[in-house]
């Protein structure tokens, strides 16, 4: 567990009488007014003397999510620093309390419990891996703990969770996948073979992309689920039908490099169009040996890893604050590649929390104030692109507790990713599957 | 005399667990609830490894079978939690018996490997039938589905006492078993199976009984976890959860009735305390486990029994 340093009230001398406090404050106000410093100084007093707003950050420091977790933590720390420097949330500094959940659903629930009961945080946020969200969210609901996840799973919008769980800072996989289909059908081909991991994450791709490509007049000619334990993929490539126009791949885990290498050996220079999800290569250097075969292929990105020629001011600001260079790697170590298409969600979610707390008039972790916070979050409709939302503007559905945003399609060229298309928000929107606002608080 | 001491110790342990609910702060209150449920899984595992001498590396399959049978029944069919608990326990009992009929034809390392393979197959089946199980992501069971006679299983007091009742039941079952003639045969099998055979016992049947009971308790723990904490997921069928049971039992003391809960408590609080001090807590936990193994080679209670408390069951 780590706790960021924030000013705390001095309790060493026990209670202070009201008279003494008034005297002291009067003297300070008089002195500062005389010096003509009152506005700025009074603001400083309000922020530093205010009780911090405690945010519990559920981090994947260990376990299979550690590579993502490391960058989630850096992004979160950068956003918290900026928010605190700018006066905090409603004049209160953020006290960030980080606990490792080991990327384990049981420990995840324990961490939520610890945040609520031991650290007495106001809000919990930051969970990424779907199974940890699924394991933790029921406990968050029981504890009436506002729980803002950054997971990209469809579990929130599907209605599987509860009224206290939100995903406002990152789009879900259903929206991502659906919005790719029109461009793929128009530019790459309509006969698609899908290679995907043989578990829930892969099935979301299978189901949502299959439906979306059919809407475009295309078809999935072959589904190739790959077991999680697979280490060699050569036996799968001959199963790809010869009339395949587009090979859609979304592989995750340490086998990715082997997968790409073996795909290159199988196809050589005579390959179909290839479209993948960057999840396969988050935290992996695109210039890694063995990835040369990907040159000329396409990837979905939630947020372009490589700074583009038309880079926005917000992206420059965000990269500098988090410590990411133009290639999406750490400023301190060019080989430490970020999870750029996911971690922005932490940054944006923190600003959304700030907005929701300020709009709701939330003061403390009482049921009444939490209710106000939940309702204020549900009342939001979206956010404009800017320093607080560098990935782009978004809409938000209070019914679904889920945001919708732009997606990017990038082409691999010279070991880098160049954006060739940015989708419209409408491309990824879908009919609501639930309405959380009807659930009791 | 020894019997009285032993009864006093185990009864005292249950009394302490009962009284703790009045003093534990909220965070530890829920943790103790969770630990008691998982300790039932440990007790089940202990019957097999500690008393019968069979080392399974795939016990998570029984935990998961109870969890999934109960969880899916509640989630999809709307079965009430009490029936779901019975269903989960019976499903695990049946599954353990079926696995035992095959796996118990092997011994030693082969038994470890066969149980591990069964468990891995079980884990992959959960992933394969993703449409129903939601695979690795799992299923969150709604609070509305977790009600017994109008009382919510999310109520911390009810949950703690149900966990305590479950744990007490498992503890008493284990205690009674090892004091019984059957239990003594199981211990004899652990010590020297060939001699037991020579005495005319059908050891396969006794080992099958031990595995079935072990599966029953593991399944009861899995079903309870699903119903009390509202989550069913493939993680609980993964190899880590087989190893956890092994660790709890070895740490607490294999072949001691209270060993599993001591081990589960120790493991939980080792992670808890060290993670409060350092981000590299796993290294510290690892080092602590090595030291514990060096100084308590038979687990905490096992070593105590060897050196001082000879009467400890």
User: Tens digit of pLDDT for each residue in A8-33?
Assistant: 434 434 344 445 544 554 554 444 44
Closest CA–CA distance from residue A441 to any residue of chain B (Å): 13
Q: Do A198 and B127 touch (CB under 8 A)?
A: yes
At A184 the pLDDT is 96
pTM to 2 decimal places: 0.84
Cβ contact B127–A106 (<8 Å): no
Residue of chain B minimizing CA distance to A136: B231
Q: Which one of B155, B231, B244 would you mutate to disrupt binding with A, by most A Cβ within 10 Å of its Cβ?
A: B231
Closest in A106, A200, A229 to B136, CB measured: A200
> CB-based burial of residue A28 (10 Å sphere; 0-12 exposed, 13-18 middle, 19+ buried)?
middle
- Unique residue bearing structure tokens 């800017």: A386
Q: Do A200 and B139 touch (CB under 8 A)?
A: no
- Looking at residue A341, its pLDDT comes to 95
Q: What is the pLDDT of residue B274?
A: 87
Chain B residues close to A4, C-beta within 8 Å? none
- Mean pLDDT for chain A overall: 88
Q: Chain A partners of B29 at a C-beta cutoff of 8 Å?
A: 117
Q: Which of A98, A99, A115, A117 to mutate to test the interface with B (most CBs of B within 10 A)?
A: A117
Q: What is the mean pLDDT of residues B102-122?
A: 94
Which of A61, A99, A105 shows the shortest C-beta gap to B231?
A105
- Asked whether the beta carbons of residue A131 and residue B138 sit closer than 8 angstroms, the reply is yes
Segments of chain A with pLDDT less than 70: 1-49, 252-254
Taking contacts as CB-CB distances below 8 angstroms, the residues of chain A near B233 are 105, 131, 134-135
User: Residue A92 forms beta bridges with which residues?
Assistant: A89
Q: Is residue A431 classed exposed, middle or buried when 0-12, 13-18 and 19+ CB atoms within 10 A define those classes?
A: exposed
Is the pLDDT at B257 greater than 80? The verdict is yes
How confident is the model at residue A4, as a pLDDT?
A: 62
Instruction: For residues B189-198, give the mean pLDDT.
Output: 94
Q: What is the pLDDT of residues B9-55, one digit of tens each?
A: 999 999 999 999 999 988 899 999 999 999 999 999 999 999 999 99
pLDDT for A18: 46
Set of chain A residues whose Cβ sits within 8 Å of the Cβ of B30: 113, 117
pLDDT band, very low/low/confident/very high, at B116 (cuts 50, 70, 90): very high
Residue pair B64/B222 in contact (Cβ under 8 Å)? The answer is: yes
Distance CA B107, CA B93 (A): 21
Residues A131, B136: C-beta atoms closer than 8 Å:
yes
| Yes or no, beta carbons of A138 and B141 under 8 Å apart | yes
Backbone angles phi, psi at B278, to 5 degrees: -145, 150
CA nearest A1 in B: which residue?
B276
Domain A173-301+406-428 listed as CATH 3.90.1170.50: no
Interface of B to A at Cβ within 8 Å reads 25-27, 29-31, 34, 124, 127-128, 130-131, 134-143, 154, 229-231, 233-236, 271, 275-276, 279, 281-282
Residue A1's pLDDT is 66
The pLDDT value recorded for residue A283 is 87
Of residues A138, A162, A198, nearest to B231 (C-beta): A138
Which among B30, B31, B140 has CB closest to A137? Answer: B140
Per-residue pLDDT band for B216 (boundaries 50, 70, 90) equals very high
Nearest CA in chain A to B282: A62
- Tokens (6 digits) for B297: 């080679």
List chain A residues with CB under 8 Å of B153: none
pLDDT at A33: 43
According to the model, what pLDDT value does residue B137 have? 87
| A200: closest CA of chain B, how far (Å) | 5
Contacts of B235 in chain A (CB under 8 A): 104-106, 131, 135
Domain ranges in chain A? 2-171+343-404, 173-301+406-428
CA atoms of B278 and B117, how far apart (whole Å): 36
Rounded CA Rg of chain A: 24
Q: Are strands A408-413 and A298-301 parallel, antiparallel or unpaired?
A: antiparallel
Determine, for residues A160 and B140 on separate chains, whether the beta-carbon distance falls below 8 Å: yes
Smallest Cα distance from A379 to chain B, Å:
24
Same fold, A2-171+343-404 and A173-301+406-428: yes
Place of tokens 């009390």: B228
Distances (CA, A) of B76 to A105, A253, A261: 21, 32, 43
Interface contact flag, B235 A113, Cβ < 8 Å? no
CB contact under 8 A, A200 and B135: yes
What ipTM did this prediction achieve? Answer: 0.82
Q: Where are the alpha helices (DSSP H) in A36-172?
A: 38-49, 66-85, 105-114, 130-142
CA nearest to B279 within chain A: A1
Asked whether the beta carbons of residue A227 and residue B124 sit closer than 8 angstroms, the reply is yes
Is B230's CB within 8 Å of A138's CB? yes
The CATH code of the domain at A2-171+343-404 is 3.40.50.2300
Residue scoring higher pLDDT (A11 or B200): B200
Choose, out of B119, B136, B152, the residue to mutate when testing the contact with A (most A CBs < 10 Å).
Answer: B136
| Pairs across A and B, CB distance < 8 A | 100
What is the DSSP secondary structure assignment for residue B235, as one 8-state letter? G
Q: A365 phi and psi, to 5 degrees?
A: -80, 55
Contact A153 B140 (CB under 8 A): no
**Alpha-carbon distances of A269 from A238, A264, A265, A415, rounded to whole Å:** 16, 8, 9, 17
pLDDT of residue A253: 65
pLDDT at A204: 86
How many Å lie between the alpha carbon of B141 and the closest alpha carbon of chain A? Answer: 8
State the smallest CA–CA distance between residue A21 and chain B in angstroms: 34
- Separation in Å, CA of A3 to nearest CA in chain B: 10
Q: Do residue A138 and residue B140 have CB atoms under 8 angstroms apart?
A: yes
Check residue B126 and give its pLDDT: 92
Q: How many Cβ atoms are within 10 Å of A245's Cβ, its own excluded?
A: 17
């Amino acid at each position: 567990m780590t706790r960021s340093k924030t000013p705390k009230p001095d309790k060493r001398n026990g209670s202070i009488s009201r008279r003494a406090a008034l005297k002291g404050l009067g003297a300070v106000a008089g002195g500062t007014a005389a010096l003509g410093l009152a506005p700025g100084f009074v603001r400083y007093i309000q922020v530093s003397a205010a009780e911090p707003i405690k945010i519990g950050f559920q981090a994947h420091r260990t376990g299979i999510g550690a590579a993502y977790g490391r960058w989630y933590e850096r992004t979160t720390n950068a956003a918290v620093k900026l928010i605190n420097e700018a006066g905090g949330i409603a004049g209160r500094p953020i006290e960030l309390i980080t606990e490792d959940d080991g990327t384990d659903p049981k420990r995840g629930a324990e961490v939520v419990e610890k945040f609520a009961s031991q650290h007495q945080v106001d809000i919990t946020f930051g969970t990424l891996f779907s199974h940890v969200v699924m394991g933790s969210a029921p406990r968050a609901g029981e504890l009436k703990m506002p729980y803002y996840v950054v997971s990209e799973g469809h579990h929130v919008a599907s209605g599987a969770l509860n009224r206290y769980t939100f995903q406002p800072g990152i789009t879900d996989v259903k929206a991502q996948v659906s919005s790719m289909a029109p461009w793929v059908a128009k530019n790459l081909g309509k006969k698609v073979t899908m290679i995907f991991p043989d578990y829930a994450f892969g099935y979301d791709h299978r189901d949502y992309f299959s439906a979306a490509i059919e809407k475009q007049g295309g078809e999935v000619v072959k589904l190739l689920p790959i077991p999680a334990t697979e280490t060699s993929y050569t036996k799968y490539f001959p199963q790809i039908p010869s009339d395949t126009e587009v090979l859609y791949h979304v592989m995750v885990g340490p086998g990715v490099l082997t997968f790409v290498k073996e795909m290159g050996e199988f196809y050589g220079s005579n390959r179909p169009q290839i479209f993948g999800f960057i999840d396969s290569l988050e935290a992996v250097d695109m210039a890694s040996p063995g990835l040369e075969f990907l040159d000329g292929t396409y990837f979905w990105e939630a947020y372009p890893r490589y700074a583009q020629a038309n880079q926005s001011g917000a992206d420059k600001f965000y990269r500098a604050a988090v410590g990411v260079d133009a290639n999406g790697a750490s400023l301190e170590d060019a080989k430490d590649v970020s999870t750029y298409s996911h971690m922005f969600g932490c940054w944006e979610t923190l600003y959304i929390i700030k907005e929701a707390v300020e709009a709701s008039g939330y003061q403390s972790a009482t049921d009444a104030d939490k209710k106000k916070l939940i309702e204020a979050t549900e009342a939001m409709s979206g956010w404009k692109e800017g320093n607080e939302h560098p990935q782009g503007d978004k809409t938000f559905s209070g019914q679904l507790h889920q945001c919708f945003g732009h997606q990017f399609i990038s082409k691999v060229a010279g070991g880098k990713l160049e954006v060739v298309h940015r989708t419209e928000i409408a491309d990824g929107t879908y009919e609501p599957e639930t309405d959380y606002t009807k659930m009791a608080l | 005399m020894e019997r009285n001491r032993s009864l006093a110790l185990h009864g005292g342990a249950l009394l302490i667990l009962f009284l703790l609910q009045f003093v534990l702060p909220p965070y530890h209150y829920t943790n103790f609830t969770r630990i008691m449920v998982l300790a039932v899984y440990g007790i089940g595992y202990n019957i097999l490894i500690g008393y019968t001498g069979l080392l399974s590396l795939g016990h998570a399959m029984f935990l998961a079978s109870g969890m999934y049978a109960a969880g899916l029944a509640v989630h999809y069919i709307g079965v009430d939690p009490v029936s779901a608990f019975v269903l989960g326990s019976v499903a695990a009992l049946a599954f353990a018996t079926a696995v035992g009929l095959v796996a118990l034809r092997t011994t030693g390392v082969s038994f470890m490997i066969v149980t591990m393979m069964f468990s891995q197959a079980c884990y992959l089946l959960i992933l394969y039938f993703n449409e129903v199980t939601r695979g690795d992501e799992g299923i969150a069971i709604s609070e509305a589905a977790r009600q017994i006679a109008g009382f919510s299983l999310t109520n911390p007091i009810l949950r703690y006492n149900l966990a305590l009742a479950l744990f007490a039941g498992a503890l008493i079952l284990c205690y009674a078993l090892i004091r019984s003639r059957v239990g003594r045969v199981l211990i004899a099998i652990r010590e020297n199976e060939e001699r037991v055979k020579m005495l005319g016992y059908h050891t396969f049947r006794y080992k099958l009984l031990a595995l079935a009971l072990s599966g029953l308790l593991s399944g009861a723990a899995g079903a309870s976890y699903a119903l009390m904490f509202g989550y069913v997921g493939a993680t609980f069928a993964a190899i880590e959860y087989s190893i956890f049971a092994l660790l709890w039992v070895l740490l607490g003391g294999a072949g001691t009735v209270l060993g599993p809960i001591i081990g589960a408590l120790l493991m939980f609080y080792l992670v808890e305390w060290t993670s409060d001090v350092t981000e590299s807590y796993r290294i510290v936990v690892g080092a602590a486990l090595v030291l514990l193994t060096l100084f308590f080679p038979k687990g905490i209670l096992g070593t105590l029994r060897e050196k001082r408390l000879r009467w400890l069951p």
